[in-house]
Chains A and B, each alone.
Chain A
Amino acid sequence: MNTILQVRDLLVRVHTSILVEVPHLWLERGEILAVMGPNGSGKSTLLQVLGFLRKPTAGTVFFSGRPVASRRDGLLARRQIAMVFQEPLLCQASVFANVAMGLRFRKLPGSTVTTEVNRWLERLGILHLADRPAQTLSGGEAQRASLARALVLKPAVLLLDEPFSALDPQIKEVLIEDLYEILRHEELSTIFVTHDHSEALRLGDRIAVMGNGRILQVDTPQKVFGMPSSEQVALFTGVETILPGTIVEQREGLALVDVRGKRLEAVTQASPGERVLLCLRPEEVSLMGPNQIRTGTARNLLPGVVERIIPSGFHFRVVLDCGFQIVAFVTRQSRDEMNLKEGDPVTAAFKASGIHVIPR
C-alpha cells in the first residue's frame, strides 16, 4: 500500500460542537493534497490531528499503515512530520538557530546540523540571513525561514496551514513557485490547507473541500471545480449561478431543463421528471448586445437586462436579470466595446456543456 497518512472515523468534538467529522481521508506518498474550505470549516483542526498535535475525540490516524496510539508512537510519528503555519512563528534567536531547532531536538551532531541548515537556507535563498535575529526578517523572509525549518527535517509528510495567506501578492507568487519546485523535486507527501482557489489549483494533485467539519468532496482539481458534487462545493468553488430546475426531455445525454418556465439545454444523463440544480460558472457565460450577430456554438441564449456591474480584479462581474439571476464575467475591454451599462438589454450565451448538473 502506498498510503503514507490516513484517518478513519475521525471525530473532534469540543463540548457539544463537532469541529471535524471525517470517516476516511488518506494521503498517497509523493502526493500533494490541497484542503480547501471557508473559515471555521475545520481545516486547521484536521491538520493538527494529522500532525499528531491534537488528540481526536474518536478515530484513528495511521502513519505508514500503522495506527498511532501511544504517546511514544505519537512522538515518533511527529518526528516524521513537519508543519508550517500561517504565521512564521520563529523563536527569538538567529535564523540559523531557528532552522536548526528540529535537528537539535533530534540530537544530531553539530556538523550535520550546520551542513543541513546551510543547504536548506541556500535552497530557500536566505543563506545570507543566517546570522540575523529572526525578529528582523520581513514577512516573506520569515516564511522562507519557517519553510526551511520544516524542510531541513526531511519529513515524510509536510503539513502546510495557509502558509502564504499573510504575504504580499508578489512575494507570495515567487514563494509558491519555489515551494512547488521543491515539493516536486523531493517528492514530498504534502497536505496543504488554503482558502485560495488558485493556490489549490496550482499545487494540488487532489483537492478536498471542507464545510462544517466534514469533507464534502475529494477529487482532482478539474472535477472539484468543473463537477462539484453538491451546492455547497459549487458555491465554494466559485459557481455563482445555481438554478433549480426539472428535466423535461432527454436526448442521448443532452437534456432539456425547465427553469422557471424557460428551457435550457444541459449535458447530463438525468431522466425526465428529475429535479436538478444547474451550476453555471460566470466564466462560462458570454454576453451579446442586442444588435450583435450570434457567433459561437452556445446552445443556450437568454435575453435579459443588466442589473449591476461590479468591478472584480481584471474583470467585471455582470449580474443579469433573465427572469432569474445569472452572473457573467466580462473583461474590461469587452465592457468598453459593448458600452455596457446598468439597465441595458443583453443576451447571455452559454454552452450546454458549460452547465454542470447536480441532482436535487
Chain B
Amino acid sequence: MDLILQGAKHALELLIQGDPEIFQVVLLSLRVSGTAVLISLLLGIPLGTILALSEFPGRRLVLSLVNTGMGFPPVVVGLFVSMLLWRSGPLGGLDLLYTPAAMVIAQVALAAPIIIGLTAAAIQQLNPKLRLQILSLGANRRQLMWILLREARLPLLAAVMAGFGGVISEVGAVMMVGGNVKGQTRVLTTATVLETRMGHFDVAIALSLVLLGITFLVNLALTIFQQRGGTR
C-alpha cells in the first residue's frame, strides 16, 4: 500500500514540476499518434465512403478484410512493419526502422482499418434514399460525399475516437518498430512498460496518469463536438 501511495505522491510532484523527460515522451506520443490518426482519416474516410456507396464484385470480401483489419493484433502489425523496414527488407533503403516515422506507419496500419470500417458502417446506416435525395437537389459527387459525411458525423467521430484511442494506448507495435529509444522513439506506453519493469513506479504512474488524461480530454472534446446540434 505504501508503495502505491509513495508512487502516486512522487508522480504528482513530477507532473507539477513539469519533468522534461516526461514532457518529451508525452509530446512524442501526441505527435506520433496524432499524425497516424490524421493520415488514417485522410485515407480511411474516402475509402470507407467509396466502399459503402459503390457496387463492385468482391465488395463484401474487401469489407470483411477491412473488418478483420479492425481487430489486427498489434504485434502482428509490428512484425510486418519491422520486416518491411528491416535493412534487407523491401523498404530497408529508407532507413526508417526505430524512428518515429516507423511508429507512424505501424499506427496507420492499426488505425486505418478501424476508420475505413467504421466510416463504411456509418455511411451504410444512413437511409439509402438520402443519397438519391441529395443528388436530386443537384449535388455533384463531391457535394454528395460531403453532405453524407456530415449526416454521419456522430458515428464518424466515434471512429476517430476509436482510432486515436487504439493507437495512443497501443504498446506492442510501437515497441517493435520504434525500439523505445530514449529521447527518440520513447512514447507513453513504451516508457510505462520500461519504468514498471525497472521498479520506478512513481514515473510509471505519472506516465499512466498523463495517458489517461490525454485519452479523456481527446474524447471529451470530440464528444462535445459530436453532440453539438445542427447549425444554420
The chain A residues found within 8 Å of chain B, CB to CB, are 48, 51, 53-54, 75, 78-79, 81-83, 85, 87, 89, 91-94, 96-97, 101-102, 105-106, 131, 133-135, 149-150, 153, 159
Contact = CB atoms under 8 A, between A and B. Distances in A.
A312 to B, nearest CB: 33
A106 B135 CA distance: 12
A70 to B, nearest CB: 14
B136 to A, nearest CB: 4
Given A51-B132, A53-B132, A105-B139, 9 more contacts: A54-B132, A82-B137, A83-B133, A91-B230, A97-B232, A101-B137, A102-B137, A153-B137, A159-B136
B132 A85 contact: yes
Given A89-B130, A91-B147, A97 B137 contact: no
Interface residues of B, number: 21
B163 to A, nearest CB: 23
Contacts of B129: 85, 87, 89
Contacts of B130: 89, 91
A159 B135 CA distance: 13
Contacts of A87: 127, 129
A91 B135 contact: no
B132 A93 contact: no
Contacts of B20: none
A94 B143 CA distance: 18
A324 B9 CA distance: 97
B136 A82 contact: yes
What DSSP secondary structure best describes chain B's contact surface?
A: helix
A92 B136 CA distance: 18
B230 A105 contact: no
B136 A51 contact: yes
A102 B143 CA distance: 10
Contacts of A81: 136
Interface string B133-151: 1111111100100010011
Contacts of A53: 132, 135-136
21 contacts: A48-B132, A53-B136, A78-B138, A79-B138, A82-B137, A83-B133, A85-B132, A87-B127, A91-B150, A92-B151, A92-B153, A93-B230, A94-B231, A97-B231, A101-B137, A105-B138, A106-B138, A135-B230, A153-B137, A153-B138, A159-B136
Contacts of A96: 232
A106 B134 CA distance: 13
Given A83-B133, A92-B151, A131 B232 contact: yes
Contacts of A97: 230-232
A78 B138 CA distance: 6
A133 B227 CA distance: 13
A48 B127 CA distance: 16
Contacts, number: 70
A85 B127 CA distance: 12
A32 B140 CA distance: 28
What DSSP secondary structure best describes chain A's contact surface?
A: mixed
Contacts of A83: 132-133, 136
A153 B147 CA distance: 18
What 8 pairs between A and B have smallest CB-CB spacing? A102-B137, A83-B136, A93-B230, A79-B138, A89-B133, A105-B138, A133-B230, A94-B232
A82 B129 CA distance: 14
Nearest to A79: B138
B183 interface: no
B90 interface: no
Nearest to A131: B232
A141 to B, nearest CB: 15
A89 B143 CA distance: 16
B57 interface: no
B138 A93 contact: no
A329 B230 CA distance: 52
B229 interface: yes
A91 B151 contact: yes
A54 B137 CA distance: 14
A134 B229 CA distance: 11
A92 B140 contact: no
Contacts of A51: 132, 136
Contacts of B150: 91-92
B232 A93 contact: yes
Residue from B133, B136, B151, B230 whose CB has the most chain A CB atoms within 10 Å: B136
Nearest to B144: A105
A62 B100 CA distance: 58
Interface string B217-232: 0000000000001111
Contacts of A102: 137-138
A134 B137 contact: no
A133 B229 contact: yes
A75 B140 CA distance: 7
A117 to B, nearest CB: 11
A78 B232 contact: no
B140 A105 contact: yes
B184 to A, nearest CB: 45
A320 to B, nearest CB: 45
A258 to B, nearest CB: 52
A85 B129 CA distance: 8
